[in-house]
Amino acid sequence: MDNSIKLSLAHMGGREQYWIDQAFKTGWIVPLGPNVDEFERLLGEYLGTPGRVVALSAGTAALHLGLVMLGVEPGDEVVCQSFTFSASANPVRYLGANPVFVGSESDTWNMDPAALDSCIADRIEKTGRKPKAIIPVHLYGMPAKMNEICAVADKWGIPVLEDAAEALGSELCGRKCGTFGRYAALSFNGNKIITTSGGGALVCPDAEAAARVKFYATQARENRPYYYHEVIGYNYRLSNVCAGIGIGQMEVLDEHLARRREIHAMYGSLLSGLSWLKVMDNPSADFDSNFWLSTITLDKACGHTPDELRLALGEQDIESRLLWRPMHMQPVFADAPYYSTGGVEERLFDSGLCIPSGSGLSDGQIERVARAIAAFGR
């Protein structure tokens, strides 16, 4: 028997296969069709953004097209969160533009609004031009301080492209992540809250923008009897087969969200007696993370690194993962400007660990993880 406990595996609800079969029965084995339409409708209904969601082949594609829609061009600057997965920043480079990184605040671990403000002022002073867009991230599902970030963005007149890849179902002040930015990207990769095996979506400001995103995502073909192109297009639509998985996943989304939050609460109580670690939690009642991944930080005084804990858990077939290594510390972005908040994300990288959080994990498995962590500290 496989005794291993993984970080976050795809978790099927049961009806996904039915919708895949529908795609086969109706012959829609293409990157458009009834499953794609229905998946988009369900996402729009869930987020309260009807007619404004476009299903795409990946969250990375959604971020890329979001930047295209915001008019990002070669030589432009885009402000990104340093503490994130590289997919937040890579699309900036796809367009020949340059990322500028901002450090995190310690409440949510996301983009610091004050540092964002001084970053923008400094970029304008140094380059004479405003950054074209701002990409905040809701890391591990924890909402960024979007009210403050959007206020700074509005003050400077710069649009926000929200990276909500990890935050489907998370809320800030009762408002869903994915509805704060002018555009927002979602991901349905295999390890996310819901999956289409691989896929993503872009939430758009209106139906007209959504139609334009679909146009870009299907090779930017103009409405003529022959193939005619005025702009560069992409092949980024979601497969109708994969969208069938997405429809099945939407039926169990609420259940899966409840389970992620329950797992986080279990860790909170099972690990509460350990003075050498802290389970990351919502900083106030305004924040309602989906806890896509539960994370812990180790006290420096405990004398152990998170990688030592990762290896110890690995010996018991328990998968864990170090927190994201900040983008300003990545060789590929070594020349990008960086606006520090005093090393918050560097300290998090040095002290933190993601622990198994998949909605398919049993209470017994979570207890086994907690026991293994407690034994490590002894």
The rounded distance, in Å, linking the Cα atoms of 305 and 4 is 23
Q: Is 89 in the site for ligand PLP (CB under 6 A)?
A: no
| Closer CB to ligand PLP, 295 or 365, in the complex | 295
Q: The dihedral of CA 271, 144, 340, 90: what is its sign?
A: positive
The rounded distance, in Å, linking the Cα atoms of 71 and 184 is 15
As measured in angstroms, the least distance from the Cβ of 306 to ligand PLP is 19
Footprint on residues 123-152 left by ligand PLP (CB under 6 A): 137
Do residues 193 and 177 touch, judged by C-beta distance below 8 A?
Answer: no
269 burial (CB, 10 Å; 0-12 / 13-18 / 19+) is exposed
Point out which span in 85-93, 209-217, 246-254, 263-271 binds ligand PLP (CB under 6 A). 85-93
Footprint on residues 175-194 left by ligand PLP (CB under 6 A): 187, 189
Q: Is 85 in the site for ligand PLP (CB under 6 A)?
A: yes
Number of residues that bind ligand PLP (CB under 6 A): 14
| Closer CB to ligand PLP, 33 or 136, in the complex | 136
As measured in angstroms, the least distance from the Cβ of 138 to ligand PLP is 8
Interface with ligand PLP (CB under 6 A), residue from 33, 44, 59, 136: 59
| Closer CB to ligand PLP, 137 or 369, in the complex | 137
Residue 194 phi, psi (nearest 5): -125, 160
Q: Is 88 in the site for ligand PLP (CB under 6 A)?
A: yes
The residues that touch ligand PLP, with contacts defined as CB under 6 A, are 58-60, 84-85, 87-88, 137, 163, 165-166, 187, 189, 200
